[in-house]
Structure 1
Amino acid sequence: MEWTFLILTTFFAATLQAATGFGFGLVGVTIFVILLQSTSAVQIVIIVTFAMSVFHWLKIRSHAPDHLVKKIMLGCMVGYPIGVLIFSNFDLYALKLSVALLILVVSAQNLFEILKTRRGGTPNFLPMRGRHFAGVGAVSGIMASALAMPGPPVIAYLAQCELDKNAIRATVITCSTFSYGVALILQASFIGIDTTTMTTSAILIPIALIGTLFGDYIARFINPTLFKNIVLVVLLFSGLNMVINL
């Protein structure tokens, strides 16, 4: 029964990530921790998501604006070691609470903008400046190495910028691929990854790749409005879930 839920969760989370650019960490960490009752769930999510992100990145990398990716990644480099220190030495309660509140605030702003647009108003896009993207990247880097969730801060910000859905998906996937690769190296170097974690990850990776192909297929049928609505729902779910599971 445990393996059935692991496989179903992996497929659904991979489909969601391929369709929107993020989501595997949100769904995977939450359910894997419940099923496995171990912090190894975070490492499994990192390994599986890195494999599927590389596969997906090769298909959509051309849509990612290079200048945005570079700024976000520079910020990530600052956040990675901080996330490892938090993961290995501190209680994650404060981090989870801070991130949850941040996500809920941004989600509320996204909801306000969606409702405003539906009523015929002009959307207020967030500024696309280098320092803002670097800050977003730093938060993403911390979440990548501490919680295996680099996507939420990036998608939350980009969803309110003047970008199309393909640019948003490609940017988030590109940054996530880099983040998960670095997070995996840091976890292996400073914490260690046991054989059981590696074996479980190896079994789930093919399932994740199938989910990626399916999510990439259905993404073409998602219009910009539906895309923003899905992002909003997933962000709200992630924020509320973090609060509930503190």
Structure 2
Amino acid sequence: MEVGLFILLIFTASLLQTSTGFGFSIVATPFLLLLFDARDAIQLNLILSLFISLTLFKNIRSDIDRGVLKRFISGSVIGLPIGMMVFSFSNIDYLKIAIGILILLLTVLLLLKFRIGQTRGRDRIVGAISGSLTTSIGMPGPPLLLYFSGTETEKAKLRGTTLAYYLFIYFFSLVVQIFAAGTSNKVWLYALCALPIVLLGQLAGQYLFSRINQKMFQLFTYAILLFTGAYLLFNT
């Protein structure tokens, strides 16, 4: 049962990550926390998400907003150590509940057509929040998804910039996690076994991306956010 759930989970999350630029950590992390302890679940998520970003980089290079990317990265440098401290000293269940409530509230605002203007300062703030969430619970995506949805960013630019940012954030988050919390052979064995499933999910995700329009893409993002917020809130 656990093996089947793991396969389905990795395939679905890989498909969403490839087709939207989001999805792997948002969908996978809550379920991985059911199958593994917090450290192993977060590190497994980081390894597989980094692999997806690496394999897709050639396809998304032309869609990257390099200015936004640099500001996200500069902000995340501040957030990474903060998130590691939160992971080390806080109750993970309380943290998940708080993040779930925040995601749901912000998603409701987006559904009510709340929009924000994009600025350099806000780019850095979002990067800092994303960095802290990556090392604390392995989920950098919600702040970016909420921000890009609020600024109505075009889908190719959103996916390209996000996947490029993940190359940085997942690599350094994994290094920080291993250095501060250690790792296990179990994490790397499961990651290796999951790679073929990830590749199949990527093929399906590329097919889906080429066939969804901007409106459908936006509906996907709202569905992912609502699912994530509800899951974090009600399954702790």
- Please confirm whether the aligned pair reaches a TM-score higher than 0.5, indicating the same fold: yes
Aligned to 1:117: none
Aligned to 2:60: 60
Higher mean alpha-carbon deviation, 177-186 vs 209-218, is at 209-218
What do the CA deviations read for 1:182-230 (whole angstroms, capped 9, x no partner)?
A: 1111111111111111111111122112211220221011100001111
Aligned to 1:107: 107
SS of the residue corresponding to residue 159 of structure 1 reads helix
Task: Mark the CA change 1:162 to 1:68 in structure 2 (over 3 Å): closer, same or farther.
Answer: same
Aligned to 2:183: 193
* Number of residue pairs matched by the alignment: 236
**The one of 115, 126, 130 aligned to 1:136:** 126
Q: Residues of 1 paired with 2:133 and 2:187: CA distance? A: 20
1:22 touches 1:151 (CA, 8 Å); kept in 2? Answer: yes
Alpha-carbon shift at residue 159 of structure 1 (Å): 1.2
Structure 2 length-normalised TM:
0.94
2:98 touches 2:233 (CA, 8 Å); kept in 1? Answer: no
Aligned to 1:36: 36
Listed as ranges, the matches of 1:176-191 within 5 Å are 176-191=166-181
Listed as ranges, the matches of 1:61-140 within 5 Å are 61-113=61-113, 125-140=115-130
Aligned to 1:175: 165
Q: 5+ residue gaps in structure 2?
A: none
SS of the residue corresponding to residue 221 of structure 1 reads coil
Alpha-carbon shift at residue 94 of structure 1 (Å): 4.1
AA partner of residue 160 (structure 1): G
Alpha-carbon shift at residue 109 of structure 1 (Å): 1.7
Q: Residues of 2 paired with 1:67 and 1:148: CA distance? A: 24
Alpha-carbon shift at residue 40 of structure 1 (Å): 1.1
**The one of 222, 225, 234 aligned to 1:235:** 225
Q: Residues of 2 paired with 1:63 and 1:13: CA distance? A: 22
Aligned to 1:151: 141
Q: 5+ residue gaps in structure 1?
A: 114-123
Q: Residues of 1 paired with 2:73 and 2:94: CA distance? A: 24
2:100 touches 2:233 (CA, 8 Å); kept in 1? Answer: yes
The percent identity for this pair of structures is 30
